[in-house]
Structure 1
Amino acid sequence: MTSTHTSHCTIVPPYMLEALALGDEQAVATHARAALRHDEQLRASRRTPTAQETVRSAPHRETTAGAADTGPRRTIYDAKGTQTTPGTQVRAEGGAPTGDPAVNEAYDGLGATWELWSTAYSRDSLDGKGMPLLASVHYGRNYDNAFWDGSQMVFGDGDGVIFERFTKSLDVIGHELAHGVTEHTAGLLYQGQSGALNESVSDVFGVLVKQKALGQTAAEADWLVGADLLNPSVKGRALRDMRNPGTAYDDPRLGKDPQPADMAHHVDTQDDNGGVHINSGIPNRAFVLAADAIGGNAWEGAGAIWYAVLSGDAIKADCDFATFAGLTVAAAGSVHGDGSAQQAAVRSAWEQVGVLTVGGSSQGGSTGGSAGGTAPGQGGGVPTPASQVLLRRTGGFAGLVRERRMVLGELPERDARDWQHLLAAPTLQRIAASTERTHPDAFTYSVVCDEAGCDVTLQEPHLPEAIHSLFERALTQD
């Protein structure tokens, strides 16, 4: 199965960046707001032509199952503080290390990720056909994020106050590249429980890249995602703790880690495409429990079972927790035998997080939290300067919410005029009606104006730049 949609996935959860953007430390807040703006612009379908052309010009290897690989094909670029990718090439496959730690860390991280997929699962790069691995470092100024744009990795240097440079974290590199593998296999829809599984799969294989590189068994591993990113001043251990979701950080600037550890605390929300970045803590913990019980190297035990499901024919794009749990139990039985200790370990893991009950029945429920939101209103009303508008933005890697209630007449004159024209026209309704699917880590906007008869939910990648800019100005104005 192959998913052809473009994804833009970031490692720092939007809820963390949002918390920083609202904090009292001016420099940190400024950098966080800049990172959010850049992420939003990039997610709105602006994959760089240069990066795409680079990928297309490099032919993929045609291999058969089990054929010997010839190694990764890495190219590292330096964006030199700009927001243009890929930038200037600074290291190609086989080239000597440079004097720039970010370049060398990116090169080594891409190699470690390729090595896991190749040696553990006989997969030739992300697409199974030798896809070139590209990365740009030094993206933007004090950019607080890293992301996969559908064709390459991009790394910021961090602000040095909350976040260190993003190439420092091997599991972050592995996480983002795993989104590419999911796109080329199960194609898990990025909403509700299938979206949370999409995020969890990236966390799983991100930490497996790190564990394999360090030679750690499941028992020896820390199961932390992004532990190398946080500045020593942050009150936290990492971005996420897979073994103990909800405990990774508790910081005045970042807030408290919101991930649940079991279905009893599953978050039912329309925000964040149905809570994809929050509820992923549940399958994350199930994986760790299974890996601990099976023992040994997690990439050989539980990881191989998860990969068999991800790349198999039985999984569907809208797979929910209960279905995925059942598939992993069945895969464990296929690999190790029905009634085996490995199969029992996998079933017990899902029972402990409340997705399966003792006896094998499911508590997973529906996929939950559709990102589609409220059905579009018909519009057509005539907004006035006294009209009130609720603009709400959810989603992003961290799943934070930002909203603003505004009176049109109190906005800057140009924006007030643009809002009146937009709300009086059927444009927003048409965009909402044309949205067919969600996109990983893209934001979702809801616009409600009773006077105009408008109640719509829109996916960021489908927004024209002028409307996207209007929305963002409204959310960032005091």
Structure 2
Amino acid sequence: MSYAHPRHCILPPHMIEAIRLRGDAGLRKMADGIEQDGQRFRAARCELMPPAATRRTQPVAARARIKPERKVYDAQQRRRLPGKLVRAEGDARSSDADVDRAYDGAGATFKLFLNVYQRHSLDGEGMPLVSSVHYGKSYNNAFWDGEQMVYGDGDGILFRSFTRSLSVIAHELSHGVVQFSGGLVYRDQSGALSESFADVFGVLTLQYRRKQAAHEADWLVGKGLLGPDVRGAALRSLKAPGTAYDDAVLGKDPQPFHMDDFVYTSSDNGGVHINSGIPNHAFYLLAQNLCGNAWERAGHIWYDTLQSIDNPHASFADWADRTLELARERFGAGSTEAIQTRRSWKLVGIAV
């Protein structure tokens, strides 16, 4: 069975629609442009992914000798990719902050997956990490297109440069990990799990880089990305889904944290960017209750679940069941890890 992979954007459709409905003429034109660009990319990215079984990888050894292979291009405010190569692996820092943030963010994501989960790049086989910055003019988005990362500069009103947030960079790159780990069909609950995995490992990359324990972190995706006059802290919050922003133009964060508030919708591929708040919050609760570093015990349970679930249409309940199985296998049936895994899912309305 094969699945076409979509272009994964950090800005969710409901936010773009809010801009279209509430913004002035210039913002409406911008929102229309983002949507048209998305349609163009979806039409272009028509190749199919290989079956899941062929894409599972084995953990790597001798991690100290493994280095990333990064390339950062300047799209020069055009919409042709990749653009002009401006920094390759090992090159000195440039005079362009966006170039260096894209380079450093790719490296931080690479380090988390290699050092903690023994994964050699996104595909497990040393895939080069290619990024393009300065995509389009004042482009309000960042995305993983199945092969590389792309960053807009933002318009300076609603959004700043999309390289400013490591959690955004790592979120998008984590979609590549999902893509090369069997994949999750990008619709309904399985699509929300894909978005949630990317959110989880986006914040874990930031915490790992900062050496923050779970209780020290803010658990925000996209902090520092919103414009100076936007009312909000970030794009999403794993700690408190539904509270990341409440703005006259962007609207209010619609994410639920409990199955009682699950949103049934035909838009956004069945609400993949909305209902991801539920598994997001389950992970946050697990990490908090286990204490210590979230990328360790909680992160291993989530990462191993992606590697072993073997169900591209997995529901939240399927994912929850597998996390509990793995917690028991890794730590013991009566372990704190297993007990807290079950408890965390129960607190978001999913019985395991």
Pairwise TM-score range, normalised by the shorter structure: over 0.9
2:317 alignment partner in structure 1: 322
1:208 matches 2:204 = yes
**Correspondence list, 1:387-402, <5 A:** none
* TM-superposed deviation, 1:47: 8.0
1:230 alignment partner in structure 2: 226
1:8 alignment partner in structure 2: 7
* TM-superposed deviation, 1:63: 8.0
Contact 1:79 1:86 in 2 (8 A): yes
Corresponding residue SS for 1:90: strand
Q: Which runs of 4+ in 1 moved over 6 A?
A: none
Contact 1:8 1:148 in 2 (8 A): yes
Contact 2:207 2:217 in 1 (8 A): yes
1:331 alignment partner in structure 2: 326
1:473 alignment partner in structure 2: none
* TM-superposed deviation, 1:295: 0.9
TM-score (norm 1): 0.69
* TM-superposed deviation, 1:76: 0.2
Corresponding residue SS for 1:332: helix
2:184 alignment partner in structure 1: 188
The one-character-per-residue Cα deviations of 1:239-282 (angstroms, maximum 9, x if unpaired) are 11111111111111011111111001111222222211111100
Contact 2:4 2:46 in 1 (8 A): no
Corresponding residue SS for 2:334: coil
Contact 1:139 1:157 in 2 (8 A): yes
- Percent identity, aligned pairs only, is 50
Which has the larger Rg? 1
* TM-superposed deviation, 1:335: 1.1
Number of residue-to-residue matches in the alignment: 342
Consecutive unaligned residues of structure 1, counting only runs of 5 or more, are: 49-61, 361-478
> Would the alpha carbon gap of residues 96 and 187 (structure 1) be closer, same or farther in structure 2, given more than 3 Å must change?
same
* TM-superposed deviation, 1:185: 1.1
1:32 alignment partner in structure 2: 31
Instruction: Give the aligned residue type for 2:319.
Output: F
> Would the alpha carbon gap of residues 93 and 47 (structure 1) be closer, same or farther in structure 2, given more than 3 Å must change?
farther
> Would the alpha carbon gap of residues 280 and 227 (structure 1) be closer, same or farther in structure 2, given more than 3 Å must change?
same
Query: Paired residue for 1:119, among 110, 115, 136?
Result: 115
1:381 alignment partner in structure 2: none
* TM-superposed deviation, 1:65: 3.7
1:156 matches 2:174 = no
> Would the alpha carbon gap of residues 190 and 46 (structure 1) be closer, same or farther in structure 2, given more than 3 Å must change?
closer
Contact 1:63 1:129 in 2 (8 A): no
Contact 1:267 1:279 in 2 (8 A): yes
1:145 matches 2:141 = yes
Instruction: Give the aligned residue type for 2:10.
Output: I
Instruction: Give the aligned residue type for 2:329.
Output: S
The one-character-per-residue Cα deviations of 1:70-129 (angstroms, maximum 9, x if unpaired) are 210000000001000000000000000111000000000000000000001000000100
How many Å separate the matches in 1 of 2:240 and 2:13? 21
2:214 alignment partner in structure 1: 218
2:341 alignment partner in structure 1: 346
The one-character-per-residue Cα deviations of 1:19-39 (angstroms, maximum 9, x if unpaired) are 112334333333232222222
* TM-superposed deviation, 1:186: 3.3
Instruction: Give the aligned residue type for 1:77.
Output: Y
How many Å separate the matches in 2 of 1:228 and 1:273? 27
Instruction: Give the aligned residue type for 1:117.
Output: F
Contact 1:295 1:301 in 2 (8 A): no
Query: Paired residue for 1:308, among 304, 307, 329?
Result: 304
The one-character-per-residue Cα deviations of 1:376-429 (angstroms, maximum 9, x if unpaired) are xxxxxxxxxxxxxxxxxxxxxxxxxxxxxxxxxxxxxxxxxxxxxxxxxxxxxx
1:291 matches 2:297 = no
Please, what is the CA RMSD of the aligned residues?
Answer: 1.8
> Would the alpha carbon gap of residues 355 and 116 (structure 1) be closer, same or farther in structure 2, given more than 3 Å must change?
same
How many Å separate the matches in 2 of 1:7 and 1:126? 16
Contact 2:13 2:268 in 1 (8 A): no
How many Å separate the matches in 2 of 1:134 and 1:3? 25
Consecutive unaligned residues of structure 2, counting only runs of 5 or more, are: 48-56
How many Å separate the matches in 1 of 2:250 and 2:103? 30
Instruction: Give the aligned residue type for 1:165.
Output: S
1:198 matches 2:194 = yes
Corresponding residue SS for 1:77: strand
How many Å separate the matches in 1 of 2:72 and 2:177? 20
1:394 alignment partner in structure 2: none
Contact 1:219 1:295 in 2 (8 A): yes
Query: Paired residue for 2:243, among 243, 247, 250?
Result: 247
How many Å separate the matches in 2 of 1:270 and 1:33? 20
1:42 alignment partner in structure 2: 41
* TM-superposed deviation, 1:301: 1.8
Query: Paired residue for 1:132, among 128, 139, 152?
Result: 128
Corresponding residue SS for 1:81: coil
How many Å separate the matches in 2 of 1:247 and 1:3? 37
How many Å separate the matches in 2 of 1:324 and 1:80? 42
Contact 1:112 1:209 in 2 (8 A): yes
How many Å separate the matches in 1 of 2:153 and 2:102? 12
> Would the alpha carbon gap of residues 311 and 138 (structure 1) be closer, same or farther in structure 2, given more than 3 Å must change?
same
Contact 1:315 1:324 in 2 (8 A): no
Corresponding residue SS for 2:123: coil
Corresponding residue SS for 1:154: strand
Contact 1:3 1:183 in 2 (8 A): no
Contact 1:197 1:321 in 2 (8 A): yes
Query: Paired residue for 1:167, among 160, 163, 181?
Result: 163
Which deviates the most, 27-36 or 301-310? 27-36
Instruction: Give the aligned residue type for 1:326.
Output: D
Corresponding residue SS for 2:37: helix
Instruction: Give the aligned residue type for 1:216.
Output: Q
TM-score (norm 2): 0.93
